[in-house]
């Protein structure tokens, strides 16, 4: 890869757009966690005396921070990136300047991580305000938010560059992200419900690893498996970005 400071120009373009619309974007970001916590955490939680050794709402909170980061990054590299690539011709116009395809990819991933950070930290702030984020240990969640963003930026951009039609994103969201959301330790401890083979399958799911790291941060406990979680995120991100860089170079220099 030949990523350069020009990646920041790409990032800056998206930030300039966001500066005009952030007021509209921030508000839903703020309400989403409240809705989840009230509906599922407090509503469903009233029927659950304990989960994973804590109250249900406290069990739920860290996973939802990871989900917020996942969603923030995913929207940016799917619908938004697809529109920039195919409809707005943003990349075509960038490539008339010294910006190279690798810079475009790096800038987009960096921006998706930024959006994940905005989404995730608002979520975290709401949860902390509700007294569900023990301090100081849960501050470890903060660096995990953009890391989760990186993973889902890499996944999403690799998908976006390959599909010919914007309607195919509904597959990505409904058949990929939604199952991840439901089966990645967010709502219930997989270890207590899945058979051994199911657990082995679950280890392959990308969201499980940020959720496990996030929950460990909230609890302030370190376990050796977290090294595997971190390695999984970094290795999969790197592999996907390598693939995405190849596709980007090919697609943008046709």
Partner 1 sequence: MQLRYQRAVAEPQAIVECRALRKRYRDRFAVDGIDLDVPRGVCFGLLGPNGAGKTTTLRMVYGVTRPTSGSARVFGLDVARDARRVRARLGVTLQENALIEPLSAIDNLRVFGRYHRIPRAELEVRIEELLDFLELRSHASLPVRALSGGFQRRLAIALSLINRPELLVLDEPTTGLDPAVRLALWERVRELQAAGTTVLLTTHYMDEAERLCDRLVILSGGRVVADGAPLELIRRELAPQALELVVAEADEGRVLQGLDGVRRLRTGRRLVLYVPDAGALLETLRHRGDVGEPRAVVVRPANLEDVFLALTGTGLTGGA
Phi/psi for 51 (5° steps) reads -140, 130
Rounded to whole angstroms, the Cα distance separating 36 from 118 reads 18
Q: Does 254 bind partner 1 (CB under 8 A)?
A: yes
Q: What is the DSSP string of 89-104?
A: -HHHHHTTTT--HHHH
Q: Residue 67, exposed/middle/buried by CB under 10 A (0-12, 13-18, 19+)?
A: buried
Our CB check for partner 1 shows the closer of 39 and 93 to be 93
Q: Does 252 bind partner 1 (CB under 8 A)?
A: yes
Terminal alpha carbon distance of the chain? 18
Phi/psi for 136 (5° steps) reads -90, -5
For partner 1, which residue of 96, 165, 170, 196 counts as binding (CB under 8 A)? 96
Q: How far is the CB of 122 from partner 1 (least distance, A)?
A: 22
Q: Which stretch binds partner 1 (CB under 8 A): 14-22, 27-35, 160-168, 234-242?
A: 14-22
Q: Does 12 bind partner 1 (CB under 8 A)?
A: yes
Q: Does 92 bind partner 1 (CB under 8 A)?
A: yes
Q: Does 115 bind partner 1 (CB under 8 A)?
A: no
Please, which residues bridge with residue 54 across strands?
51
Rounded to whole angstroms, the Cα distance separating 230 from 24 reads 34
Contacts with partner 1, 16-35, as mask; x by CB under 8 A: xx--xx--------------
206 DSSP assignment: T
For partner 1, which residue of 29, 78, 100, 121 counts as binding (CB under 8 A)? 100
Q: Does 161 bind partner 1 (CB under 8 A)?
A: no
Our CB check for partner 1 shows the closer of 192 and 254 to be 254
- Total residues interacting with partner 1, rule: CB under 8 A: 24
- Half-sphere exposure of residue 38, counting CA atoms within 13 Å on the CB side? 6
Interface residues with partner 1 (CB under 8 A) are 5-6, 9, 12-13, 16-17, 20-21, 88-90, 92-100, 252-254
């Amino acid at each position: 890869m030949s990523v350069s400071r020009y990646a920041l120009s790409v990032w800056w373009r998206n930030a300039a757009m966001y500066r005009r619309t952030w007021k509209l974007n921030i508000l839903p970001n703020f309400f989403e966690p409240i809705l989840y916590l009230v509906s599922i955490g407090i509503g469903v939680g009233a029927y659950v005396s304990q989960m994973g050794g804590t109250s249900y709402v406290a069990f739920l909170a860290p996973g939802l921070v990871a989900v917020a980061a996942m969603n923030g990054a995913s929207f940016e590299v799917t619908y938004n990136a697809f529109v920039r690539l195919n409809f707005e011709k943003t990349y075509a116009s960038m490539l008339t300047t010294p910006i190279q395809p690798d810079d475009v990819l790096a800038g987009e991933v960096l921006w998706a991580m930024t959006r994940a950070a905005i989404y995730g930290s608002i979520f975290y702030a709401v949860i902390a305000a509700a007294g569900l984020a023990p301090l100081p240990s849960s501050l470890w969640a903060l660096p995990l938010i953009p890391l989760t963003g990186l993973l889902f930026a890499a996944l999403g951009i690799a998908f976006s560059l390959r599909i010919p039609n914007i309607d195919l994103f509904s597959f990505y969201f409904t058949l990929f992200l939604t199952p991840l959301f439901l089966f990645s330790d967010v709502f219930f401890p997989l270890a207590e419900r899945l058979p051994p083979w199911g657990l082995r399958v679950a280890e392959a799911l990308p969201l499980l690893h940020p959720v496990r790291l996030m929950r460990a941060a909230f609890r302030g406990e370190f376990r050796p498996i977290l090294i595997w979680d971190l390695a999984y995120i970094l290795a999969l991100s790197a592999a996907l970005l390598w693939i995405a860089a190849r596709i980007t170079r090919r697609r943008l220099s046709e």
